[in-house]
Chains A and B, each alone.
Chain A
Amino acid sequence: MKQANRAGRFFLVPALLIIAFVLLFPIIQTIVLSFGRNSTSIFYDYEFAGLANYQRLLRTPRFITALNNTILFTAVTVPIELVIGIGLALVLNRQFRGKGLVRMAVLFPWALPTALNALMWRWMFNTEFGLFNSILTDTGLAVERVNWLGAIPIAMASMMFVSIWKTSSFMALLLLAGLQTIPDDLYEAGSVDGATRWTAFRHLTLPLLRPAIMVSVLLRTMDAMRTFELPFNLTDGGPLTSTETLSLYSYRAIFQYVNFNLGSSAIIIQFIIIMAISIVYIVTLRRADQ
């Protein structure tokens, strides 16, 4: 039987080869490139430049702006998504007629391609012919048409809105999994004690949901910190660079300004920040638990 299990290691080989080729090696190479100068590969023409790229980035106002944009975007969207996500998860955790439709309604925004979703919203935000301006002026809520994507700071708010619309559902699905692990008899015991819905939610659901909340907030934070397609297709990072995220900045550094090394170091800084936030977050919560 042991021998059979040992043979099982070979089952890993195809997967590990692909992962090494597509994930492990490129990640290592990106790290090495971030310390290089005028190099696109570590196999030829590699010139070591030390921390030069990192120093240059930290002195580049545009990079700092992208960093601030990304942090602001994450700090605003994730908490709002959490609140909406909890609401949606509570709705989905009940049995009612038409549940299938509501569940599809929650699943659908998650399943939409982010890039095309951004285009759909860009069309609705369109200043001249867009749905939103039409509704606002038809109902008399606004006299002038609003430039949703072309003015500071409303472009950032519009982008946040689209992100919240799309990813609250992902939050809801993760939280729903947590809700379903809470046994119903707990609520029954609670209702015998005369607990109202709100107290049951406050003192039963929320504490028991805590692990699921932690996981979903962490996953969403990491995801929001690397937002790329949304500004790429909704605002193109503009106006000026007011909606340019770290990922969009890195992409442009690499492929538009063709500086692989500077772009790589931007990505590595981004990764370090994501890791730091995750670690601080996990440690703080652990400490709060004790």
Chain B
Amino acid sequence: MTSAKGIFGANRRPAGFTESRKKSSRGFYAVAALTVIVSFFPTVWLFLTSIKEEADIYAWPVVYLPQPATLENYVNIATETPELLRFILNSAIVATTTTVVILACGGLAGYSLGRLTYRGRNLILILILAMSMFPPLALLPSLFSMFLDLRLINTYPGLIIGHTGLYLPIAIWILSNFFQTVPREIEDAARVDGASSLRIFWSIILPLSVPGLISTGLIVFVFSWNEFPLSLVLMSDNFMRTAPVGISLFPGEYSFPWEIISAATVLTILPILVISGVFQDRLIGGLTAGSGK
């Protein structure tokens, strides 16, 4: 995995590629179909639950298909438990801002580490990576007491800083790999013309690296959207919780209110479903560039 094309999946295999292996057998398609079914059925079941009437959700024998389908549970979220919508909004604010901050700081750092030459460069990169090996839980006791003292608990900036620190190393790693693949000649020509490093970064490297930035941004967004331990500890106020935490801790009167939980979960994983459907190339490319080396 050294070429930019290879990493980011832009190059398709040559047209004549292994004709003999192209004919896929029936068994092969059975495996492929099974993969699709196994992978989607929990989400499908959750969705079916979310559009059932409450009596059909708690029924034995189980009512498999909603009869009739109803959006009642979704309406109830909006009217009776608006905090669930607030959770999703919180997640959106935190994940979006984290992504922007990481791309800005990680872009600069990745360019510096991946492209420029100075002493200690590799060491810094290795140290940054090593730090991301620590379990996130190792941060919890310290971050909690620090953020409590700094009044960052239950604030957006607090969790955004936390998520940024958590995912900056992997972003720097992916981006520095990507910057290495931008042709050097263009940069050198600009340097001869007397352009500064910042200017080269801004007007040459960045425009050429848009695919890498998109990949990294999507991965970071998904990570931040899904993050649990830090969000659990740094946001303890019920209105500041992110969606995964808020839904997990949502109290029920007698038992877990699955009619509401299923609908809220569907809403929360919708962006993830769209991203993994529309941007598969970008996600897979970025992931394998980050860890496949």
Contacts and interface: CB of A to CB of B under 8 A. Distances in A.
B273 A8 contact: no
B141 A123 contact: no
Given A11-B201, A19-B165, A26-B146, A91 B135 contact: no
Contact of A123 (B247, B262, B287): B262
A11 to B, nearest CB: 4
Interface string A1-42: 100111111011011101101111111011001000000110
B228 A115 contact: yes
Contacts of A119: 247-248, 261, 265
Given A26-B139, A107-B280, A222-B133, A8 B36 contact: no
A132 to B, nearest CB: 10
Contacts of B145: 40-41, 260
B28 A91 contact: yes
A236 to B, nearest CB: 11
B277 A16 contact: no
B164 interface: yes
A124 B42 contact: yes
Among A41, A95, A105, A216: residue with most chain B CB under 10 A? A105
Contact of A184 (B17, B143, B198, B277): B17
A286 interface: no
The majority secondary structure among interface residues of chain B is helix
A160 B40 CA distance: 19
B32 A96 contact: yes
A237 interface: no
A26 B143 contact: yes
B169 interface: yes
Nearest to A44: B149
Interface string A232-251: 11000000000000010011
A232 B233 CA distance: 13
Nearest to A99: B32
Nearest to B268: A116
B35 A123 contact: no
Given A19-B168, A22-B166, A27-B142, A177 B1 contact: yes
B161 A94 contact: no
Given A104-B277, A119-B265, A23 B131 contact: yes
Contacts of B162: 22
A177 B59 CA distance: 46
Given A12-B108, A271-B135, A165 B46 contact: no
B62 A14 contact: no
Interface residues of A, number: 102
B197 A5 contact: yes
Contacts of B140: 251, 254-255, 267
B13 A95 contact: yes
Contact of A14 (B29, B109, B131): B109
B35 A41 contact: no
Nearest to B31: A91
Nearest to B134: A27
B32 A116 contact: no
Contacts of B269: 112-113, 116
Contacts of A41: 145-146, 149
Nearest to B165: A22
Given A123-B46, A254-B144, 7 more contacts: A5-B116, A8-B197, A94-B24, A104-B280, A111-B272, A119-B261, A267-B138
10 contacts: A15-B109, A23-B165, A26-B138, A41-B149, A115-B247, A116-B243, A119-B265, A174-B292, A177-B1, A191-B20
Interface of B: 1, 6, 13, 17-18, 20-22, 24, 28-29, 31-32, 35-36, 38-40, 42-43, 45-46, 49, 57-62, 64, 104-106, 108-109, 111-113, 115-118, 124, 128, 131-146, 149, 161-162, 164-166, 168-169, 172, 191, 196-198, 200-201, 222, 225-226, 228-229, 233, 243-245, 247-248, 256, 258, 261-262, 265, 268-269, 272-273, 275-277, 280, 283-284, 287-288, 291-293
Interface of A: 1, 4-9, 11-12, 14-16, 18-19, 21-27, 29-30, 33, 40-41, 87-88, 91, 94-96, 98, 100-117, 119-124, 126, 128-131, 134, 137-138, 165, 169, 173-174, 176-178, 180-181, 184, 187-188, 191, 212, 215-216, 219, 222, 225-226, 228-229, 232-233, 247, 250-251, 254-255, 260, 263-264, 267-268, 270-271, 274
